[in-house]
Amino acid sequence: MTKENENFEIDFSPEIQALSYFAHIPYTPMSAIAEFVDNSLQSYLNNDKKLHKIHSPSWKLRIGIYITKSKILIEDNAAGINRQDCDRAFKAGAAPDEEDKGLSEFGMGMKTAALWFSKAFEVQSSALGEKVERTVKFDLDKALDEGLVKFKPKIQTTSANQHGTKVILNKLRREQTARTKKQIKEYLSSMYRHFINKNRIEIRVDNEKLSYEMPPILNAPFFHEVGKAKSNKKIKWLKKFSFSYASKKAHGFAGIFDEGNIGFAKTKYAGFNLFRFDRLIQGVGENKGYRPPQIFGNPQSHSYQRIFGEIHLDGQSVSHIKDGFIWDDQEEFEFIEKLKKNLQTGDVNIFDQAKNYRLDRRARDVKVQTSEGLDGAIKLAPAALKILEEKKIPRQVETTKEKPKPKDKEVRRKQMKFEGYTWNFEIILNYDKNERDWIQVFEKGNKTKDITIIIAMGMGFTQQYFGSRPDEVEGMLAIIEYIALAEIVEKSRGTSKAHAIRMSLNEIIRRQPPDLGY
């Protein structure tokens, strides 16, 4: 024990009861963990020269996160919490001094995140240049029961060059699943990519060192119209930009995915990642990218799936939990207009290329993937044949079956002419999970015919093989549409078992994996 002032206490007042509400802050496990990382990183940034002088130029910040069913541990080798900052560090909403703000500007991080995760936590910290380690233990239930607002830290002697902080979260409010741990790794890798890739910090989650890899960039000719290339000259579809808007500055890059590299061509990577002070604010996770419709169009468009990039907005305000930017309408409108203009101008016209480019399926990488798909498909043939051997298709289609009325659906309609007659054509995508017929065809009328095709989008086969990009979905739906139309036309021409192919196909898909649990 040192001679440090025996009356030194950590003050959690004035509103200790308000701490109970921290559990209801709209964090996710990923964003709450990021608050601890922000604190560690800001402590390092505020003291980097001192830390490198004590150690060596190659020294780096190391943050370890360990998650079990009963507790979460976050530890770092940053500069620690000094005596002067102790009260502020444990008082909700007590922001740091102006020059120390950076990633910890709201003074909310450690307290709110700790109490969001748990009802009890312990903080051990040794501050750079101080010869003590302070340990603060806080139990919310005990504090409320006993009316405690001040806590005396345990103080032990250490060396002046010992520094770092360890936070232990106990009495967890929610269990962290394997899926959550995976998401935490993905989020942190993306959030702190610039610090990681510059070798400034090392983050480990359950001893796994995090890293970030940029998606592959399309290298292809410019398609000035849909499917039409201007020339054979290939362009790398990556573009840097910087511009001013509403008296603020933005800089970054935009790119187009190399769709031939299927591993990265996923919807969740599309859209812009928005940064502030090199820390990701918006854009990690599925469909979390910044996608203004003036640039990306609707979710079915090629642009929506293809464009990605980074934009740094150091002057733009963020929410208090740092999960989004705060805009006024005019400010964001000007930002989007300037961004769109930058994407459209010059030789690397990201905007038009994203809309018009079509994947060349003769390319080497695509051929390799197609070959792998062919290997898998040929193996399914014997099982499909066995299903058809067991199932006999009736000569007549059941005419009494009522047309389903799915609650979760997407509908498109079109009027067409066939051999002088009018066909009111309707396609329904049925997302209900209990549907067991992959393709259903309903028709009524003679000269004026109402035709409905219903496709079960909730079945395992559809979910596994349809893909997520518009061209993938369009192609598969077109095949189903053609099968149904061929059946209707053949029936109108007198073919007695025109329905047999569709019904046989339904039987195979109903009984052949993937089932996906439905």
Confidence of residue 476 (pLDDT cuts 50, 70, 90): confident
* pLDDT tens for each residue of 401-439: 678 888 888 888 989 998 888 999 999 998 887 888 899
Give the model confidence (pLDDT) of 492-508 as tens digits: 888 888 889 898 998 88
Per-residue pLDDT at 323 exceeds 90: no
Statement: residue 307 has pLDDT above 90 = yes
Decide if 310 contacts 269 (C-beta within 8 A): no
* Helical (H) or strand (E) element with 399: none
Q: Which two tokens stand for residue 190?
A: 């993306």
pLDDT per position as a tens digit, 266-294? 556 789 999 999 999 998 777 789 999 99
Distance (Å, whole) CA 213 – CA 330: 35
Angle value at C-alpha 165, between 161 and 166, nearest 5 degrees: 135
Higher pLDDT, 99 or 442: 442
Residue 311: which pLDDT band, with cuts at 50, 70 and 90?
A: very high
Q: What is the maximal distance between C-alpha atoms in the chain?
A: 101
Question: What are 90-136's pLDDT values in tens digits?
Answer: 765 445 554 544 555 534 578 889 999 999 999 999 999 899 999 99
Mean pLDDT, residues 351-365: 74
Q: Using a CB cutoff of 8 Å and minimum separation of 24, what contacts does 289-294 make?
A: 292/336, 292/339, 294/336, 294/337, 294/340
Residue 442 · residue 455 · CB < 8 Å: no
Class of residue 260 by CB neighbours under 10 A (exposed 0-12, middle 13-18, buried 19+): buried
Give per-residue pLDDT as tens, 159-214. Answer: 888 999 999 999 999 888 998 999 999 999 999 999 999 988 999 999 999 999 88
Residue 194 phi/psi, 5° resolution? -70, -40
Does the domain at residues 10-208 carry the CATH identifier 1.10.357.10? no
- And the tokens for 212? 């970030």
Kindly report which listed range (4-8, 79-83, 228-232, 484-488) carries the lowest average pLDDT score: 4-8
Q: Are 440 and 418 in contact (CB under 8 A)?
A: no
Tokens 């032990």 identify what position? 156
Q: How buried is residue 274: exposed, middle or buried, by Cβ count under 10 Å (0-12/13-18/19+)?
A: buried
The DSSP bridge pattern shows strands 271-276 and 279-282 to be: antiparallel
The matching CATH number, chosen from 3.30.70, 3.30.230, 3.40.50, 2.60.40, for 219-356 is: 3.30.230
- Measuring CA to CA, which residue among 54, 108, 96 is closest to residue 79? 54
DSSP 280-321: EEE--STT-SB--HHHH-STTSHHHHHEEEEEE-TTS-B-TT
Q: In 3D, which of 501, 410, 388, 504 has the Cα closest to residue 458? A: 410
Confidence of residue 15 (pLDDT cuts 50, 70, 90): low
